[in-house]
Amino acid sequence: MRKLDTLILHCTATRFDHDVTIDDIRVWHVARGWKREGYHFLIRLDGTIERGRPVDMIGAHAKGFNRTSLGLAYAGGIDKDGNATNTMSRDQTDAMFVLIDSLAVVFGQLKLIGHNDVTDRKTCPNFDVSEWWSSQRFYEGE
């Protein structure tokens, strides 16, 4: 198994009401010349978690960071007016926490960052992941 130290959060840059599947993403990424989808996991609009690339396969989601990270994406990221923003629903947020916590059980504590933390060329996932993570963890310590 490869050495992992980071989870990188992404969005699909699709409208908040347009559900996509990992198969859709695979088609998009293969059309770009990639071997398969770049993400390891996708959270669909209803909170369903879909597997993409196997976790033991290096991702294609954050140039320069793929070797030691897993790519997690949520469907959405574009609001009704076409603006890039956090459109993650409550179902998606809950599923993302389950996924992140499950990955921590398997791989140990991993750093959580956004794609926008490792490049100036992207706003994805369209919010500050560090702020989001700490503000959503309201139940810790209860």
Residues annotated as catalytic (active site), given as ranges: 10, 39, 115, 122, 124
**Cβ distance 1 to 58 under 8 Å?**
no
Residues 6+ apart with CB under 8 A from 67: 2, 58
Q: DSSP characters for 84-141?
A: B-----HHHHHHHHHHHHHHHHHH---EEEEGGGS-SS--TTSS-HHHHHHHH-TTTT
107/16 Cα distance (integer angstroms): 31
22 C-beta neighbours (distance < 10 Å), count: 22
